[in-house]
């Protein structure tokens, strides 16, 4: 594939990653507010909401964002482990570290603080997903 073709493909993946991520944001914010509304402390609710969004996003990315890579169905468990260890850890650590600062110290609302934390993790998460979790199968690939 040419450099230009590679850039176009990466751009297409980036757009799809963000579209699926937007749905994941809705999952995360919905879970966060639901769990806080049920009485869970906001930091514990944040962690659980991130986990729900990571699982949601994996399935969208597997089936849609990187579907053109023809990833083998049997590779899903390994891809999920890479996604969870990459994107999941970045998102979980990023959100759990950012929320006390944004909510506790700066006094931002849960939604605003969570959106900032999500955005702060976004570019690194794309790189991890593109280069590690959904890397094409083959001699140099992880799957």
Give the separation between CA 42 and CA 110, rounded to whole angstroms. 8
Decide: 42 and 110 in contact? Cβ < 8 Å. yes
Query: What is the chain's pLDDT, residue by residue, as a tens digit (143 residues)?
Result: 444 558 888 999 999 999 999 999 999 999 999 999 999 999 999 999 999 999 999 999 999 999 998 888 888 999 999 999 999 999 999 999 999 999 999 999 999 999 999 999 999 999 999 999 998 765 554 44
Global confidence as pTM: 0.86
Per-residue pLDDT, 138: 58
How does DSSP assign 38-67, residue by residue?
TT--HHHHHHHHHHHHHHHHHHHIIIIITG
What are the b/e assignments for 67-85, b being 16+ CB within 10 Å? eebebeeebbeebbebbbe
């Amino acid at each position: 594939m040419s450099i230009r073709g590679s850039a176009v493909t990466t751009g297409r993946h980036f757009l799809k990653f963000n579209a699926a991520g937007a749905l994941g944001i809705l999952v995360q914010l919905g879970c966060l507010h639901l769990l806080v509304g049920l009485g869970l402390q906001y930091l514990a609710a944040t962690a659980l909401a991130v986990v729900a969004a990571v699982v949601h996003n994996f399935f969208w990315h597997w089936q849609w964002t990187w579907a053109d890579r023809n990833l083998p169905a049997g590779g899903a468990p390994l891809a999920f482990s890479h996604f969870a260890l990459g994107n999941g850890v970045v998102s979980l650590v990023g959100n759990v570290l950012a929320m006390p600062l944004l909510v506790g110290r700066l006094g931002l609302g849960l939604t605003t603080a969570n959106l900032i934390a999500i955005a702060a993790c976004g570019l690194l998460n794309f790189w991890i997903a593109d280069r590690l979790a959904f890397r094409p199968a083959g001699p140099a690939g992880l799957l």
